[in-house]
Amino acid sequence: MVDMLEAARLTPSVERAALYLRHAADESRHAKLFLARSAEIRREQGHAPLASPTADTEGLFAALGEEFFLAFVHLGEAVALGQFRIYIDYFEAKGQSANHALLAGISTDECRHEEYTRSLLVALSGSEDAAKKAISRARRWRAWRAWRRIGRNLSGGLHGLLMVSLYIICAPLALLIRLVTPPKGGWRQLK
């Protein structure tokens, strides 16, 4: 949602700003619906509801430019819609009407998001072919992001190991620090 708000603020087009704001409002409504349903399920199981998720952004609009941003959002909506359809069928088969209704309602919006981002992308890039190219580029970029995420996790693990080793090596230093600079309460003179 935050990325859509940023897009609404930064796009030079008033028409697109209005569409992005509507999109953000939809996403905000979806988050509330998911949260409400999650709270219902947790209540049935005797648990307290979960916290509202904290909004996050990667500053995609400013980083990617509007055309690529639209391709990325379009792709995200298409992937989400595909996943939603699997869940809709699953919940229908299981007879879980509340979950089915929730996802079916939201998927209508997702479908609209997928369509409007596609139309805007075609208009902005100038042709159907150019839009397809932008979407392919966005697909490659998604894969690259996934790869980077794996890389980050791997390097995080390695960093952790190295730091713990360093920590153990620092044990004598820790003893020295405790002796020389024990934490003191009360006033320290600054002058």
Partner 1 sequence: MSVVLGISALYHDAAAALVVDGEIVAAIQEERLSRIKNDPSLPFRAASACLHRAGLEARDIDTVVYYENPYAKLERVLLSLMRAFPRTWRQFPRALGSQLGSKLWVIDQLAEGLGVERKRVEFVSHHESHAASTFLCSPFEDAAVLVVDAVGEHASTSIYRGKGAALTGLQSVDYPHSLGLFYAAITAFLGFRVNEGEYKVMGLAAYGTPRYRDEFAKLLLAKDDGSYKLDLTYFAHHIGVENGFSRKLESLLGPRRPSHRPWNLGTDEDQHYANVAATLQLVTEEAMLGLARQAHTLVGSANLCLAGGVALNCVANARILAESQFDRIFVQPAAGDAGGALGAALLGAQRLGEGRPKALSTAALGVELDLSRALNVATEMGLRVRRVDSPADAVTAKLAAKRIVGIASGPSEWGPRALGQRSILALPQERDVRERLNRVIKEREVFRPFAPAVSAERSSEFFLGVDGDMSPFMTTVCSVREAHMESLHAVTHVDQSARVQAVTAQGAPLLHEILAGVARHNDMPIVLNTSLNGRGEPIAASATDVLSFFARHPIDALLIGDLMIERGS
* CB-CB neighbours of 112 under 10 Å: 14
Considering beta carbons, is residue 18 or 98 the nearer one to partner 1?
A: 18
Q: Considering the complex, what minimum distance in angstroms separates the CB of residue 138 from partner 1?
A: 23
Considering beta carbons, is residue 5 or 102 the nearer one to partner 1?
A: 5
Q: 34, 61, 62, 72: which is closest to 50 by C-alpha?
A: 34
Q: Considering the complex, what minimum distance in angstroms separates the CB of residue 125 from partner 1?
A: 22
Expressed in angstroms, the distance from the first to the final Cα of the chain is: 51
Distances (CA, A) of 20 to 35, 44, 50, 140: 22, 36, 28, 24
Considering beta carbons, is residue 97 or 165 the nearer one to partner 1?
A: 165
Distance of alpha carbon 21 from alpha carbon 116, whole angstroms: 13
Q: Considering the complex, what minimum distance in angstroms separates the CB of residue 3 from partner 1?
A: 9
Residue ranges binding partner 1 (CB under 8 A): 2, 5-6, 8-9, 14-15, 17-18, 21-22, 24-25, 28-29, 48-52, 54-57, 59, 159-160, 162-164, 166-167, 170-171, 173-175, 177-178, 181-191
Considering beta carbons, is residue 57 or 108 the nearer one to partner 1?
A: 57
Q: 4, 110, 18: which is closest to 56 by C-alpha?
A: 4
